[in-house]
């Protein structure tokens, strides 16, 4: 089970909460790429995000919650896009203007995908 720092969990849970809120309020979003992205959140991802938000304190303890958390980092926070493109952390940092926690989480996921030894 991949372990996360509390600030990383908070960042992701807050990001998921924002996505859920926007999905619930699609009519209030302006037309464009972001609205298309939000419309593309499927029921499983939506449900996973809600479960993770409600159980953020269990991300490092419960295998099922941990798996949902990682799945939604990959899908809903688009880390899978960068992983699939084999982008280094510094390359992503140059392209994405977001909190540092995004990059520390991404680095952990990238290490796992690459089979590197992580703590």
Distance of CA 75 to the CA centre of its chain: 7
Task: Work out the number of other CB atoms within 10 angstroms of the CB of residue 118.
Answer: 13
Single out the residue of 76, 88, 92 nearest to residue 113, CA to CA.
Answer: 88
Residue 119, domain member (yes or no): no
Q: What is the pLDDT of residue 89?
A: 95
- Which pair of tokens denotes residue 62? 């419960």
Structural domains of the chain, count:
1
Where do the DSSP E strands lie in 6-95? none
Span 66-75, pLDDT tens digits: 999 999 999 9
Exposure of 21 by Cβ count < 10 A (0-12 exposed, 13-18 middle, 19+ buried)? exposed
List the domain range (segments joined by +) for residue 35.
6-113
Residue 62, domain member (yes or no): yes
Residues of the chain with pLDDT under 70: 116-119
Residue 69, domain member (yes or no): yes
Q: What is the pTM of this model?
A: 0.91
């Amino acid at each position: 089970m991949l372990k996360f720092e509390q600030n990383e969990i908070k960042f992701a849970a807050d990001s998921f909460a924002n996505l859920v809120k926007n999905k619930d309020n699609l009519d209030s979003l302006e037309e464009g790429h972001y609205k298309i992205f939000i419309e593309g959140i499927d029921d499983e991802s939506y449900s996973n995000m809600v479960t993770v938000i409600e159980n953020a304190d269990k991300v490092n303890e419960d295998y099922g919650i941990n798996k949902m958390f990682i799945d939604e980092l990959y899908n809903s926070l688009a880390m899978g896009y960068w992983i699939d493109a084999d982008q280094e952390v510094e390359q992503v940092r140059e392209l994405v203007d977001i909190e540092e926690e995004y990059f520390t989480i991404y680095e952990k996921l990238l290490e796992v995908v690459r089979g590197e030894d992580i703590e």
